[in-house]
Amino acid sequence: MNRRGFTVGAAAALCLGALKQARAAGSYPDRPLTFVVPYPPGGAADQFARPYAQALGDRLRQTVIIENRPGANGNIGSAYVAERLPADGYALLLGSLSTLAINPHIYPSMGYSVLDDLQPVSLTHSMPNVLVVGADTPYRTLGQLIDAARRKPGSLEFGSAGIGNTMHMAGELFQLRAAVKLLHVPYKGGPEALNDLLGGRIPMMFNNLPAIVPLVRSGKLRALAIADDKRSPLLPGVPTMAEAGVADATSVVWNGILVRHGTPPGVVTQLNAAMGAVLGDPKFRDLLTAQGYDILSSTPARFAALLRKDYAAMGDLVKRANIRME
C-alpha cells in the first residue's frame, strides 16, 4: 500500500472508531449495569451503595446490579473493574480514599494502577470516622482512654477493617497526635471488627459515622470523639477530636464512582449527569443524610484532582506511621 492509501485507510479507521464511540454513547445504556462494591455487605459503603444503585437505575432506566467483591482492603474488586471488565461504562466501581489513595503505598502489587487504569466519574459522599468504645469499657471520655493507653503503651487494642483501611489510618493518626501507642487488630472488614467490639473482644475502634449512630443511640457503644472539624447533628453530644483535646486528627472518608480508563467520554459525561441528578435529589439526599452520609457531587476533573492530592498526602502519612503489610 502506498503512503496515500495508508493515510486514507488510517483516516477511515479513525472515523469508524469515532462513529462507534458516538453510537455507543448515543444508545447507552441498553442493558443492565454492574456496580462493584469492593467491601463486604452490611458496612457503611454497602449501605450507601444499595439505595444509590436503585436511584441511579431509575434515572438511567436500566437495572444497576450490586456485586460485592471484598478483599485486600478493596483491591480485589477494584482490580476486577480496572483490568478485567470492558471499558464501556457498564461496570461501575465504588472507590474510596482507603482503596485508591492509601493502598498503593502499602501493597507491593495492586494488580492495576489507580491513576492510569481508572477514570473518575463523580464523588458521591463522605463520612467522618468516630472513635467508639464498648459499653462495658471504663472509658467515658477521650482523656480517660488516653491516660489508660499511656499507662500501658502498646497494650490497648483497636480494631479496623484491615491494614491501610481508613479506620486503621484514623487510629494511626490519632496515635501520632495524642502521643500514645496502641495495638492494631486488623479484620477482613468493618462489620467483623464491629461485631467483636460489640462482643467485648476488643475495646475500641474507629468506624464510619453511619455504621455506629444507631448503636451509640441504643447504648450498645459509647462514642468518645468524632474525627471531623465539626460535630455531627446526629450525635450532637459527641465532641470533635480537637474539642476533646487532640488537634489535627481529622479523618473524613470520601467515596466516588469510577469506570475503567478508556470508557468513551460521551458515556462518562452521561453517567456524570445521571449521578449528579441522583445526588441532587432532595429525597435521596435527605434519606442518606439522616443516616450520617454527607452527600457530594462533582465533575470528573474535580474528583481526579482530589484523588491526586490525597494520593500524595496519604503516601506521606503511611511513611510517617511506618505502615506496611505484615
Does 126 have pLDDT greater than 80? yes
How many CA atoms lie within 13 Å of 19's alpha carbon, on the beta-carbon side?
A: 6
CB atoms within 10 A of CB 308: 14
Position 26 scores a pLDDT of 64
Which amino acid appears at position 226 of this protein? I
Multiple choice CATH, 31-127+252-321, 3.40.190.150, 3.40.50.720, 3.40.50.450, 3.40.50.2000: 3.40.190.150
- The CA distance from 279 to 281, in Å, is 6
What pLDDT does residue 153 have? 96
- Average pLDDT (2-13) is 43
Mean pLDDT score, 9-21? 44
pLDDT at 5: 45
The confidence score (pLDDT) of residue 71 equals: 86
pLDDT digits (tens, 9 = 90+) for 28-42: 999 999 999 998 888
For residue 2, pLDDT over 70 is answered with no
* pLDDT, average across residues 177-189: 94
pLDDT of residue 109: 85
pLDDT at residue 180 tops 60: yes
What is the model's pLDDT at position 316? 87
Indicate the DSSP class of residue 239: P
Confidence of residue 326 (pLDDT cuts 50, 70, 90): low
What pLDDT score does 115 carry? 95
Query: Contact at 8 Å (CB) between 277 and 265?
Result: no
In the predicted model, is pLDDT for residue 288 greater than 60? yes
Among the listed ranges 15-19, 44-48, 202-206, which one has the minimum average pLDDT value? 15-19
- Specify the pLDDT at position 132: 98
CB 235 within 8 A of CB 223: yes
Model confidence over 138-172: pLDDT tens digits? 999 999 999 999 999 999 999 998 888 899 999 99
Segment 49-54 shows an average pLDDT of 96
- What confidence score (pLDDT) does residue 275 get? 98
Neighbours of 294 (CB within 10 A): 16
Strands (E), 210-310: 221-226, 252-260, 294-295
pLDDT of residue 91 exceeding 60, the answer is yes
Condensed to tens digits (0 to 9), the pLDDT of residues 204-248 reads: 999 999 999 999 999 999 999 999 999 999 999 999 999 999 999
Residues of the chain with CATH 3.40.190.150: 31-127+252-321
At 42 the pLDDT is: 82
Question: Which residues belong to CATH 3.40.190.10 in the chain?
Answer: 128-226
For residue 24, what pLDDT band results from cuts at 50, 70 and 90? very low
Instruction: Please give the CATH number for the structural domain made up of 128-226.
Output: 3.40.190.10
At 53 the pLDDT is: 97
Tens digits of residue pLDDT in 106-124: 988 888 999 999 999 999 9
**What is the pLDDT, as a whole number, of residue 273?**
97
Cα 186 to Cα 302: distance, rounded to the nearest angstrom: 32
Q: CA 171 to CA 181: how far, in whole Å?
A: 10
Could you tell me if 168 and 162 are in contact, meaning their C-beta atoms sit under 8 angstroms apart? yes
For residue 213, count other CB atoms closer than 10 A to its CB. Answer: 19
- The string of DSSP letters for 64-110 reads EEEEE---GGGHHHHHIIIIIS-SSSSEEEEEEHIIIIIGGGT-S--
Grouping H, G, I as helix, E, B as strand and the rest as coil, residue 298 is coil
Who has greater pLDDT, 178 or 318? 178
Mean pLDDT of 93-116: 92
